[in-house]
Amino acid sequence: MEEAIRLAVENAEQGSAGPFGAVIVKEGKIIAASSNSVTLDNDPTAHAEVNAIRKACRALGTFQLEGCEIYCSCEPCPMCLGAIYWARLDKVYYTSTKEDAALAGFDDSFIYKEIALPEPARSIPFLHAKEPEAGKEFQCWETNDTKVKY
C-alpha cells in the first residue's frame, strides 16, 4: 500500500497526471506498479489500476490475474472496478475512498447513476442499431474449436 500511495503522491506533486497509484502483488512480491497517466498519455482509460493490470498481465504472460491482489491509493472507479473483475484479481485493498476523491474533484458518482438509468434517459444516448449480420461474431466464437476461453 505504501508504494501505491507513494506513486499517487508523486503524481500529485508533479501535477502532470491524476493523484492515483496502484500495485499488484503475487505471493508477497510486487509484480507491477503504476500511477495514473490519463493526461500524459491522452488516454482516459489510463487509470493507475488499469495501467497496473496491463503491466502485471505482460509481466506474467497471462490475461487473468488469479492469485494476485491489487493495492490502490483510492477506491477504484467504475471502469477500474470492471477491469479488476475482468482480470480476476483475488482481492482489492484501497486506502482513500470515492468520497475522498470526490472532494478533490474526482467524482464518479454520476457514472453509477447513469448505469442505473434506462438507455434513452442517459446523458450520452445509447441506441440499439440492429444490423442483419449482428450476432454472427458470437456464432463464429461459439463454433470455433481453437478459441482461447476467458
> Active-site residues: which are they?
49
Three cell numbers written together for 6: 507513494
Cβ within 8 Å of residue 43, ≥6 positions away: 37
Residue 74, Cβ density class (10 Å: 0-12 exposed, 13-18 middle, ≥19 buried): buried
Q: What is the DSSP letter of 119?
A: G
Q: Say if CB 69 and CB 24 are below 8 A apart.
A: yes
Order of strands, sheet of 68-74, starting from the edge strand that comes earlier in the sequence: 29-35, 21-26, 68-74, 91-96
Q: What is the DSSP letter of 17?
A: S
Cβ within 8 Å of residue 90, ≥6 positions away: 66, 67, 68, 69
